Amino acid sequence: MSHYFQHRRIVVTGGAGFLGHFVLEGLRRRGCPNILVPTIEEYDLVKAADIERMYETMRPDVVIHLAAVVGGIGANRKHPGEFFYKNLMMGVQLIEQGRLRGIEKFVAIGTVCAYPKFTPVPFKEDDLWIGYPEETNAPYGLAKKMLLVQSQAYRQEYGFNSIFLLPVNLYGPRDNFDPASSHVIPALIKKCVDAIDSGADSIECWGTGSASREFIYAADAAEGILLATEHYNKPEAVNIGSGFEITIRDLAEKIAKLTGFTGQIRWNPNQPDGQPRRGLDTSRAKREFGFVAKTNFDDGLKATIEWYRQTTKGGREK
């Protein structure tokens, strides 16, 4: 096992969140003794003063920037200004203060929403600039994409080692199941499980079901991020994905089957589908730092469904 993480102080912004949980687990498995997580109660990373205080207190060698203001299509449509401003300000100021303080490495986590709306499938990292992102999440996607521009500019002018990773849609245990802000997999799981519990004979899904998505199990994404943190030191963006694409209609039917929901799935075409297709070319991650996602999709869904059921049963999920 590598000793890279055993001799460095690692700050993980967003470490208390969904993906952060799995990144922290991965760091512990690697024997990292100095894992530091700036919580939102103590540090508002949108504010420059709090970022400066975080750096002064935690003195990181490496920053893995997971923190983000995120949500599904509905949340992005409702809060485009907030999603743009907060995500941009967090990332830009964290990178600038990291440069000023001479940290060893900054790992910026982008989003698949940064890709143009009509990117040829599979998405290649070199296609990031061939068009405008899908409108419903463009402000969020563009705010995140600016961290790639900043990372490359800072490497060129200052020799600052900042890398930029593009995870596809995440899913897994501990995901966000709040209907107001959740993504499609937890939203569908909640709809199906709740319909079974209440005896409902149908659920409603947004759009036509024709759009496609790629998903990666959160533990796999965390592994890709940590491999890149240790081994990747180049300016080019890198996709973190599973290489598996599925339509939303097929996804809904699969989740219904896995949860045991036998009622009707009703599609509401008055609501948006979002980006028509999403599927990543993951060859650069494999070539540069040996990352390949390992979790079977059905197995990952079963684990996520089971976590939601157990959490609901325990009275912790409302």
Annotated catalytic sites, by residue?
140
Q: How many helices (H) and strands (E) are present in the chain, helices listed first?
A: 10, 11
Task: Using alpha carbons, list the distances in angstroms from residue 316 to 37, 307, 308, 309.
Answer: 23, 11, 10, 10
User: Quick one: CA torsion of 139, 285, 249, 68, rounded to 10 degrees?
Assistant: -30
Task: Using alpha carbons, list the distances in angstroms from residue 60 to 21, 35, 125.
Answer: 19, 9, 29
Partners of 65 in the β-ladder = 13, 108
Q: Strand, helix or coil at 130?
A: coil
- State the amino acid at position 53 in one-letter form: R
DSSP states of 58-77: H--SEEEE-------HHHHH
What is the Cα 128 distance to its own chain's centre? 17
Residues 60 and 52: beta-carbon distance below 8 Å: no
Phi, psi (deg, nearest 5) at residue 8: -135, 150
Please enumerate in sequence order all residues whose Cβ is within 8 A of that of 317, keeping only pairs 6 or more positions apart, or say none: 177, 308, 311
- Could you list the beta-strand ranges (E) of the chain: 10-13, 35-36, 62-65, 105-109, 162-167, 169-171, 202-206, 212-217, 238-240, 245-247, 264-268
Phi, psi (deg, nearest 5) at residue 299: -65, -40
Distance (Å, whole) CA 21 – CA 218 = 9
